[in-house]
Structure 1
Amino acid sequence: MYSKIAASNVKKSFKDYAIYFLTLTLAVCIFYSFNSMGSQKALIQMKSVSKIMKVMSYVSVFISIILGGLILYANNFLIKKRKKELGIYMTLGMGKRKISIILVMETFLVGVISLISGLILGIGASQGLSTFALKLFDVPVNEYKFAVSTGAIGKTVLYFGIMFLLVMIFNVFVISKYKIIDLLIAGKKNQDVKFKNSTIYLIAFILCVGSLGVAYKSILKVGLNILDPMVLISIALGILGTVLFFFSLSGLILYVVKKNKKVYFKGLNIFVVKQINSKVNTNFISMSLICLMLFFTIASLSMGIGFKTVMDAGIKKSMPFDASISVTNKDVSYNIEDVLNKINFKISKNEKSVAHNEYVTGMKASEFLTTGDFKEDYVKFVKLSDYNKILKFKNEKEVNLTKDEVLILSNTDKFMKPINKKIINNNNRINIKGKEYLIKNPKAIEENLQTAYFTTSFFIIVINDEFLSGYKISNSVINVNYLDENREKYNKKYQKREDYGKGGFILGISKDGVYSENMVNTNVLIFTVIYLGIVFLITSMAVLALQQLSEASDSIERYKALRRLGANEKMIDKTIFVQTLIYFSLPVSLALIHSVVGIKVTSDLLNSLQKTNINSSALVAALIFIVIYAGYFYTTYVGYKNIVKSNL
């Protein structure tokens, strides 16, 4: 008998609370998809994938906590909605123990159905994710094979099994605390919403605008420089402004709309405004949290793929040679070739090499560039003879300079733009140690003089050898290209870092090693932010949906009053659509504004390393966002209508 009641209740819930099952199914789907990548044979042996799977296992624990909280929240909503039904069971003589058994059976059925549907959907979604991973790891797509991960299935069943077990325990505990009278009159109890003086809301809104304005202005000015305390202050002000926005919103909406009598008294607008007011006033903390989660989702999904493009382009730009070894000096002037001889490091016959030295004369970029923060950035100098050796090594045409000419190299936006604008385009001359020099190149030459983890030509001046005769070497570099195809043994040879002498250290870097390391770190970051972003999006939409459905259950008497006053079904449906749309749009709108600023700051940082266009990744992010947003909005709207219609 109990199983029949449980099955009947689950069947009824599918119709009225599809949002609950949609959320559970999507949660299982996403969880399985991101934990199943290791099953793709073309990726199994890759170091990147093994590290990603390790990180995913840790992230999944955090994700399971979020999803577990969401499931408990959704379950609590369903229990709240069914208080009257449970009260009738008690009135008919059914004990709390038997009611608990029914709820346990329902949770078990829901769990099984959600797991099966989510895993089926996840197996399909994981194939697309695997294809995406193949592209990220530069593996030919034709190596893709359809795969089902039994390990990921087991992990998903285990994690969600624990979640549903907690829900069962929670339900038993909640039922044990209820009294019959509380259950029977639950539908007649409405939350007492106390509206404060409109002046308080106005002050809160002014503080909100001020906080967000300062936060936006500060973060746009300092960027993502984590060493600058203004970054943390900007984040704190942004969070405060978000909370104040939703706190002030309910009173502000009522105040503004009331002032416009034509709008306020048109149709059922007065009813819609009151409904929105009540819900925002009650849930302003949760709406603030949802807004911040959506901001993270939009920004992370938009920048994720763009970040990969930037890193790949930046790596190619920063690695013109197969390998480089440098010795950096502080107190003593070391020459790289002498150092390698002393440590018995030999360049083999299967390698070509070229060496050059860099010098610091004490001149800083701030002496040449009056705008920007260049206080601690020294200008480096390279001899013309060394630069020509590098050009010859790269099979490029050598350059000639008179004693009054120089070349300027720079490949980062922080320096390149002001150098081109303030120095080269201005008068094409530069004053070095009291002497005017003509800049021969029409714009800053964008190239690295060694293979490195990032672009290193910040502000380099190529000058005639005589000028640097009295200065000590600050950095000495030897660049190497391999002549045979056995790259692995050479890569291991050049991956080294060790101290050398007084105030110096040797750093060896290979192109393949840098690329592999950067690919691992970049792809781990991309998958992590996408994983978190999608889960945050689902969680945010689910909470908004459940809050609206809870509003529907609490407002049945109000809709009955509307029907008695003559409102027809079409008018009631319109009020439901409008308030659902507004409630879903409020946190999304502010999140979009946050995201514009966040994406601008992140783009500026990425563009300072490498020019990039995030249009394609932003389009993909928008598509994912719209699909999930539209799905939850429509399901919520339909569910809201069903709840109201079934009770009228």
Structure 2
Amino acid sequence: MFKLTSKLALSNLIKNRSLYYPFALATCLSVAISYIFFSLTFNPHLSKMVGASAIYMVLSLGVFVVSITTTIIVFYANSFVMKNRSKELGLYGMLGLNKRHLFLMVIIELLIFAVVSTGIGVGIGLLFDQLIYAFLLKLMGLQVVLVSTFQPFVLILVVLLYVFVFFCMMISNGLHLRKFDALQMVKEKNSGEKKSRFLILQTLVGLASLIYGYYLALGVTNPMAAILIFFVAVLFVILGTYLLFNAGVTVFLQLLRKKKSYYYKPNNMISVSNLIFRMKKNAVGLATIAILSTMVLVTLSGGANIFAGGDYMQKAMFPHDISAQGKNINAEQIDQVMTEFAQEQQLPVTKKVVYEYYTMGINSRVENQLEINSREKKMMTPNTYILAVSEEAYKSMTGKSLHLEDGEVAVYRQGVKLDFGQDVQIAGQRLKVKEELKEDFIFGHLPDQMNMMIPEKIYMVMKNPSQFFTPLMEKYAVNVNYYGGMTFDIPQEKQADLKTVYQEKLSTFNTTLADDQAVYGSVTAYAKQEIKGMLGGMFFIGIFLSIVFMLGTVLIIYYKQISEGYEDRERFVILQKVGLDEKQVKQTIRKQILIVFFLPLICAFIHLIFAYHMLSLILSALGVLNTVLMLMVTLGVCAVFFISYIVVFMVTSRSYRKIISM
């Protein structure tokens, strides 16, 4: 019997190749992507480079997500193949094969398929591993070198992963055959999904869930809170999407059916009736396409924005070649440590600055009345913060003079509404607004990490800020800060080499200070390389996760089109027999495909529109501060995805029409 089942297994794989080709493609790509991720994560060459710790953390997260996602995709493809082979397996049962024989045949099929597809997948991974490694180095801004990336440990790890996946698949297929009934399995392919119940209730719950998810996405204002709320909002949106596809669309179509003036037209009647039937059968699949498409858009938009906004973020955080700041120190000490370092290393200094500035968080605001956080209260991340500098510092930054008097202030604001016709009150103290500044004068001159965490900011220029803020320090959480920066006329590569000696200099200098004092700083070239590595790694992860999600989307779409093509063919044959001409059949098919195919895409774009506000806040916390660039990159990603979706539509709809016209 083993010989017979082996021959049947091999014959079945060849005979059902139209079902197994997409399954094989998905499996091969999943294995290849898994191998590449594992290889990069454990690559010993990558661990020796600048920014290795950040990229290792990002890649490790990517391995986890990719492994789960690819497993789900492979399982979905297997379940679809088994469902569409139910009639065939049922016929085998009618011809005399029992459950044990069928299970043995299915196991042999899956073993042959697993060996071939996993082998091809590993081969693709080995073939492209070096190229992908070079691509990652390019994104990280490192020198591209082609070195051997093969690691036997990684190969064993990937093989074991997919041995486990296919073993679980065998168990799943065995459970499917356990309830074997030949007649029932013959009918299973055309049985579809069970008719939904409580359609109106599901629709109302779906709408409420979707609206609440959108409300959460639009209502958040704090970037740090947005990261946590994002996952909660995603859960509500996913629930709402599934319920509305499962019930809401059907309810809408039923309302159209009750509208006699619209429904009782040949094309509309056939389209609406078929769409109602399709939604009952394919709601989960279409909702999954919408969710996966949204994941592609959000993941790729986030990764692309992080990478594109990297230069802007680096300039905002590191405006000079080396920086020095401190705790309980003064401007003279900052200047001293930088000057000594430049002299000791004989560095050609082109610019040196030392700035005093004041920062504070605003816990409440009523029009122009600003209340500073109290020192007694526990500090929380405020929605608004103030950064104030002297007129002298402003002139050093911009080369412009403001000619301010005591009690006067020039203000630059972002995300804050102020009435400049009235005085600004800070902790009850009035300041007259002499001028509204249109330019962000802090950018490129002072490191502004708070910009990434707090959406509303007010930059002030005063004649003597210490005179105004010093009396407030005892009661309010007003911080005085000192920043020093230097630029040198030497290449970036040599500047990165200064990192170790500069940290040694700061450590030595700190030994001369009191116990409650300390100076800390960074070498920008080295810090930028670490950030570049992290951002490039995140973009890399975004690209590959998008590929995985897109793979799942295309696979589901293809299988849906093929299965529905065979099911619809019988119905259209009947319609032609009762008088529907070929032109009307084609128009009906085109209309039906367009609605079903593009409904998930429209849904995905709507999700992205509502998620954009929250996404922008999360990206700002990661350093993406250029809002115009962010919008342009996101629109570009949407355009690329739309074109890709159209290509998939053209390919799969051609298969659908070919089946219908057979």
TM range (shorter): 0.7 to 0.9
CA distance in 1, matches of 2:265, 2:96: 49
Tell me whether 1:52 sits opposite 2:55 in the alignment.
yes
- Give the TM-score normalised by structure 1: 0.77
SS in 2 for 1:178: coil
The residue aligned with 1:325 is 324
CA distance in 2, matches of 1:568, 1:518: 64
Q: CA deviation at 1:593?
A: 0.7
Task: Map residues 18-97 of structure 1 onto 2, 5 A cutoff.
Answer: 18-37=21-40, 45-48=48-51, 51-53=54-56, 55-97=58-100
1:121-158 CA distance string (max 9 Å, x none): 55676677556434422236xx4649774656555444
Tell me whether 1:445 sits opposite 2:447 in the alignment.
no
Q: CA deviation at 1:613?
A: 1.7
Matched pairs, number: 621
* Contact 1:359 1:468 (8 Å CA) reproduced: no
* Contact 2:222 2:383 (8 Å CA) reproduced: no
The residue aligned with 1:248 is 248
CA distance in 1, matches of 2:114, 2:273: 37
Q: CA deviation at 1:307?
A: 2.0
Task: Map residues 279-428 of structure 1 onto 2, 5 A cutoff.
Answer: 279-285=278-284, 287-328=286-327, 334-335=329-330, 337=332, 347=341, 349=343, 350=345, 354-359=353-358, 366=365, 369=368, 377=384, 379-384=386-391, 391=396, 397=399, 399=401, 401=403, 403=405, 408=410, 413-414=414-415, 422-423=419-420
CA distance in 1, matches of 2:122, 2:159: 9
* Contact 1:304 1:529 (8 Å CA) reproduced: yes
- 1:74 corresponds to which letter in structure 2? A
CA distance in 2, matches of 1:602, 1:161: 37
**Which residue of 476, 483, 486 corresponds with 1:481?**
486
Structure 2 CA distance for partners of 1:171 and 1:227, relative to 1, 3 Å: closer
Tell me whether 1:114 sits opposite 2:117 in the alignment.
yes
Structure 2 CA distance for partners of 1:94 and 1:137, relative to 1, 3 Å: same
1:269-326 CA distance string (max 9 Å, x none): 4344333223323454554444233222212212321222223212213322233333
Q: CA deviation at 1:595?
A: 0.8
The residue aligned with 1:609 is 625
Consecutive unaligned residues of structure 1, counting only runs of 5 or more, are none
Identity of aligned residues (%): 21
SS in 1 for 2:323: strand
**Which residue of 171, 174, 190 corresponds with 2:173?**
171
SS in 2 for 1:279: helix
* Contact 2:287 2:600 (8 Å CA) reproduced: yes
Moved more, 499-508 or 597-606: 499-508
CA distance in 2, matches of 1:304, 1:159: 27
Q: CA deviation at 1:511?
A: 2.1
* Contact 1:326 1:475 (8 Å CA) reproduced: no
CA distance in 2, matches of 1:542, 1:209: 28
The residue aligned with 1:461 is 461
* Contact 2:257 2:263 (8 Å CA) reproduced: yes
1:530-549 CA distance string (max 9 Å, x none): 33333223223423443454
Q: CA deviation at 1:368?
A: 7.8
Structure 2 CA distance for partners of 1:494 and 1:163, relative to 1, 3 Å: farther
Q: CA deviation at 1:244?
A: 4.1
The residue aligned with 1:180 is 182
Task: Map residues 228-243 of structure 1 onto 2, 5 A cutoff.
Answer: 238-243=237-242
Structure 2 CA distance for partners of 1:378 and 1:534, relative to 1, 3 Å: closer
Structure 2 CA distance for partners of 1:323 and 1:53, relative to 1, 3 Å: closer
CA distance in 2, matches of 1:580, 1:440: 56
CA distance in 1, matches of 2:460, 2:44: 46
Q: CA deviation at 1:345?
A: 12
Structure 2 CA distance for partners of 1:318 and 1:88, relative to 1, 3 Å: closer
- 1:321 corresponds to which letter in structure 2? H
Q: CA deviation at 1:252?
A: 1.0
Structure 2 CA distance for partners of 1:89 and 1:288, relative to 1, 3 Å: closer
- 2:500 corresponds to which letter in structure 1? K
CA distance in 2, matches of 1:568, 1:619: 42
CA distance in 2, matches of 1:368, 1:212: 34
**Which residue of 206, 217, 220 corresponds with 2:218?**
220
Moved more, 227-236 or 257-266: 227-236
Moved more, 470-479 or 488-497: 488-497
Structure 2 CA distance for partners of 1:361 and 1:458, relative to 1, 3 Å: closer
Structure 2 CA distance for partners of 1:191 and 1:241, relative to 1, 3 Å: closer
* Contact 1:295 1:592 (8 Å CA) reproduced: yes
Structure 2 CA distance for partners of 1:84 and 1:289, relative to 1, 3 Å: closer
Moved more, 371-380 or 97-106: 371-380
The residue aligned with 2:549 is 536
Structure 2 CA distance for partners of 1:123 and 1:279, relative to 1, 3 Å: farther
- 2:538 corresponds to which letter in structure 1? L
1:246-282 CA distance string (max 9 Å, x none): 2211121132144154555324x43443332233234
Task: Map residues 490-501 of structure 1 onto 2, 5 A cutoff.
Answer: 490-493=501-504
SS in 2 for 1:460: strand
CA distance in 2, matches of 1:592, 1:345: 54
CA distance in 2, matches of 1:617, 1:458: 27
Structure 2 CA distance for partners of 1:561 and 1:385, relative to 1, 3 Å: closer
CA distance in 2, matches of 1:187, 1:21: 21
* Contact 2:408 2:462 (8 Å CA) reproduced: yes
Structure 2 CA distance for partners of 1:600 and 1:177, relative to 1, 3 Å: same
Tell me whether 1:5 sits opposite 2:8 in the alignment.
yes
Structure 2 CA distance for partners of 1:573 and 1:194, relative to 1, 3 Å: same
Consecutive unaligned residues of structure 2, counting only runs of 5 or more, are 374-381
Structure 2 CA distance for partners of 1:222 and 1:272, relative to 1, 3 Å: same
- 1:11 corresponds to which letter in structure 2? I
Moved more, 358-367 or 16-25: 358-367
* Contact 2:306 2:538 (8 Å CA) reproduced: no
* Contact 1:39 1:147 (8 Å CA) reproduced: no
CA distance in 2, matches of 1:13, 1:624: 33
- 1:629 corresponds to which letter in structure 2? Y
Structure 2 CA distance for partners of 1:371 and 1:27, relative to 1, 3 Å: farther
* Contact 1:42 1:144 (8 Å CA) reproduced: no
1:88-113 CA distance string (max 9 Å, x none): 32333334333333322322333344
- 1:222 corresponds to which letter in structure 2? V
CA distance in 2, matches of 1:60, 1:361: 41
- 1:254 corresponds to which letter in structure 2? Q
* Contact 1:19 1:636 (8 Å CA) reproduced: no
SS in 1 for 2:486: strand
